[in-house]
Structure 1
């Protein structure tokens, strides 16, 4: 990743002999990671059953969650900021 810059975004890299631009290759890898996270989450839910705690908004909780979020002022921040502050 250290060598990636605006000058080489369109360069072709090969993954299993399939040509991708650098940006396409990065997107492919990110999607691959997300796929595996989904698999791990699915297994966790199967193993924990009723003891499973949602990793995001609990089922049926979107309305309350959104009300809380939209009650806040617009701002520039990262979506993990609120979770990282809890650990400090």
Structure 2
């Protein structure tokens, strides 16, 4: 299970890093831009991922009682770019720290997701896939907005010594 734990933590760290890289390229108006009425803004997608983490991790794994209104996550909303960076950091900290703290027994515990019992491991793997899908949407929206000024997030920034 330690290998699976390590893989999941790495995946969620990568998703968080790439989300932050997209957000850092955009201003407040750009993160709230919607291509049309039936599409989501980057702000919607970030708020939705945060809601999903609250439901699956805080409620499902940690057994807290956090209220979630999923429909509200997709309504027109306005968040600043710094707010979205904070939401992303805070949400993924919850996700990653929770995974680090999980015992082997915890991986096999069950929670109900869409009226079906699933192990915490199944839920976390589904979260990685789900967040990756939304990450692709973030890339696409950012590329539409920035055009040739968009900087890819697939190559991590080098840290200067």
Q: TM-score under structure 2 normalisation?
A: 0.34
- Measured after TM superposition, the shift of residue 4 of structure 1 is 2.7
How large is the Cα RMSD of the aligned pairs? 2.3
The count of aligned residue pairs is 63
Richer in helix (by share): 2
Partner of 2:133: 35
Secondary structure of 1:9's partner? helix
Give the TM-score normalised by structure 1: 0.56
Larger Rg, first or second structure (1 or 2): 1
- Which residue does the alignment assign to 2:145? 47
Q: Structure 1 residue runs of 4+, over 4 Å off?
A: none
Ranked by relative contact order (alpha carbons within 8 Å, sequence separation 6 or more), the top structure is 2
Q: Which residue of 1 aligns with 2:117?
A: 19
Structure 2 residue runs of 5 or longer lacking an equivalent are 1-97
Unaligned runs of 5+ in 1: 58-79
Report the 3-state secondary structure (helix = DSSP H, G, I; strand = E; otherwise coil) of the residue aligned with 1:35: helix
Kindly indicate which of the two structures has a greater share of residues assigned to strand. Answer: 1
Match of 2:154 among 56, 60, 64: 56
